[in-house]
Amino acid sequence: MSETGLVYDEEMTRYKLLWTDPVCKIEVPERLTVSHEALKCRGLDRRCVCVPTRQATDQEILLVHSKEYLEAVSQTPHMSLEDLLTFTQQYGDVYFHPVSHDVAWHQQLPPGHHSQRCEASGFCVFNNVAIAALYAKQHYKLNRVLIVDWDIHHGQGVQYCFEEDSSVLYFSWHRYEHQQFWPNLAESDYDSVGKGKGTGFNINLPWNKVGMTSSDYLSAFFHVLLPIAYEFDPELVFVCAGFDSAIGDPEGGYNLTSLPQSVCQTVHTLLGDPTPELRDIGPPCHSALESVHNVRAVHQRNWGCLKHIEPSIKRSRVDEKVEQHEEETTEHLVWPEPIPRDAPPLRTAARVSKEQEELLSEACLCLGEKSPKDLEEAEKIRNKHFQDVTDEKSLKCIQDVVSLWEKIKNKEVRNGLVVVSDVFVSLKCAVELAKNSLSERTLVLFVGDDIVPVDTNDGKVLLVQICRKEPSEVKSVYHVPVCLNKDVFSCASVMAAVLGLLLPLAYEFNPSLVLQVMAEGSSGLKVCVWAQLTSLLQGVAQGTALALLKGCDSDMVQATAASLSGASAPTLGPLGPPLTEDLEAIEAQRHRLQKRWGLLVNSVSDKEKESQDQ
């Protein structure tokens, strides 16, 4: 059964502008019809569960809005055109239609993020996302809800609704240009952090320049949103998925080509299809870095994951006069159709012991007998790279890895796991296989203290090692040891390393294969953390991953299979601050590597220091 629901109602398309208004003319019913057509065209609608609509009750709307406002909007179906126009003009950039009362009731004109308690604003009649968050809290007894707002505009309505509320964390990035961009509010800047007990739960990341790239957005994800989101540990996440920030839509309107593409890409991702490759990822631009730096600094005291940073604000660019520029028209812009998100027919395969097969049968395909061709292939590999290997156990490792690799290489499966008895032979074998075929770059995540027998000097292998003791030598900027304390690593520390080092490195390196190696049992890593990071790494290499596990108990094997097969990883619970010594180790690596790996840069001071050193 599909895990993704889809809400669509023809009724929505009846909402349209009945008079001339240059600002509102872009809010057209075609936005909905072209998006729905595109979903049908790609067969995506059939893969979702159709969720029927219903009218919201007055009680639900009153969770956010005032009685007076609700009553006023309720009158609109009975108004003459003239009265409707007069009614509309008291609000900013919005219009009412005789059916807008009904339509807005369907909670389907998402996300409504500009609408406020007593007024409509910015095409938003009711604040749907705020109503939904409060409804979920009330009816499902939720304690923590996260709202991520990637619309190009700041959702001031959501901010006003929750700024004193610590149970709803609101994160918005938005075009700001030092308050030159609508809604032109001082409170849309990074220093609005929430009020009273809601302090720290309102996170604004203003973009002060146009033309932000994937690197800028990834920087915001890894250095602001994800660390705070993991620490907060929401039970439910809403996304205000305004696509006016997409390519082809820099005027903050609605582009009828990029909109359906964006909608389809989002549904693909919700359905677990392989994520597209991101190329040319590097450091954020100076303006983006400054915003990331400032929002981290201003929230330093609110979040444990930021406690180690210097809370100094960089205002260097704020005083500069913003260049006034003519808005470009977008009609001339062309961009390629997104690459199809095709997936191998099967997601996950495993080669494990007979007893473990029973545990995994639901999550993945357990490979049975090895084919003569696989054995032949394994013999070739042995002759070429492992001439000194003659014992049965090691030979079996090579055969197991080869047989699973063949399935990945031939695109029969997306990823897989092998339980191995010799982790070094298996790892070396996998690296050689990858080098010899489709994989130009391999990311190796190694959990364990051993000296890892892979060569990182040719730039084709990036090795990130989570360990307890410092390795005797660090080979290159492609070798990243992360030394953590304690017998069982702190979840917060591991996540700080994953979000601050591993993921930025992984996205910038852009591997075609991820090898995840657990060298000896859990090696200090909790099962839930391993499951989380396995899920997160599915975002690179189009999900092409091979996990090699040695000495792990069945929980670990099961969790690996589940995460590889797309199941959501178990929660880590709200995280405390990472251990100070661990943060020091992570920061030391970040400083060592940020010249080569630009996505690791998250502070203007680091960058300034770096240029002084040169």
- Contacts with Zn ion by CB under 5 A lie at 151, 153, 242, 244
Nearer to Zn ion, 94 or 420 (CB): 94
Q: Which uninterrupted H or E stretch holds 220?
A: helix 214-220
Q: Which of 65, 97, 101, 114 is catalytic?
A: 114
CB of 87 to Zn ion, least distance (A): 23
Shortest Å, Cβ 240 to Zn ion: 9
d(CA 65, CA 175): 27
Alpha-carbon distance of 231 to 72, in angstroms, equals 41
CB of 152 to Zn ion, least distance (A): 5
Beta-carbon count within 10 A of 68 CB: 10
Identify whether 299 is a catalytic site residue: no
Of 156 and 602, nearer to Zn ion (C-beta) is 156
Q: Measured from the CB atom, is 173 or 509 closer to Zn ion? A: 173
Q: Determine which helix (DSSP H) or strand (DSSP E) holds 413, and give its type and residue range.
A: strand 413-419
Minimum distance, C-beta of residue 111 to Zn ion, in the bound complex (Å): 9
Instruction: Annotate 428-454 with three-state secondary structure.
Output: HHHHHHHHHCCCCCEEEEEECCCCCCC
Euclidean distance between CA atoms 459 and 506, whole angstroms: 13
Residue with smaller CB distance to Zn ion, 103 or 548: 103
Q: What does the DSSP 8-state code read for residue 197? A: G
Q: Considering beta carbons, is residue 66 or 266 the nearer one to Zn ion?
A: 266
Shortest distance, CB of residue 174 to Zn ion, whole angstroms?
Answer: 8
CA 439-442-446 angle, to 5 degrees, is 150
Structure tokens at 393: 């156990």
Between 119 and 151, name the residue whose CB sits nearer to Zn ion.
Answer: 151
Q: In this complex, which beta carbon is closest to Zn ion, that of residue 242 or of residue 248? A: 242
**Please, are residues 583 and 306 in contact by the beta-carbon 8 Å criterion?**
no
Compute the distance between CA of residue 165 and CA of residue 425 in angstroms, rounded to an integer: 54
Q: Which residues contact 176 (CB under 8 A, 6 or more apart)?
A: 154, 188, 189, 206, 207, 208
Q: What is the 3-state secondary structure (H, E, C) of 518-543?
A: ECCCCCCCCHHHHHHHHHHHCCCHHH
DSSP-derived secondary structure letter, 200:
T
Identify the helix (H) or strand (E) that includes residue 207: strand 202-207
CB of 150 to Zn ion, least distance (A): 10
Q: Cβ of residue 330: shortest distance to Zn ion, in angstroms?
A: 15
Whichever of 240 and 583 has its CB closer to Zn ion, that residue is: 240
Q: How far apart are CA 59 and CA 273, in angstroms?
A: 38
Task: Give the whole-angstrom CA distance, residue 149 versus residue 137.
Answer: 19
CA dist., res. 490 & res. 472, Å (int): 24
Least distance in angstroms from the C-beta of 466 to Zn ion: 40
Residue nearest to Zn ion (CB): 153
Residue that has been written with the tokens 């661990």 in this structure: 582
Q: Quick check: 497 and 584 in contact, CB under 8 A?
A: no
For 465-488, the DSSP string reads EEESS--S----TTEEEEE--SSS
Residue positions annotated with a catalytic role: 114
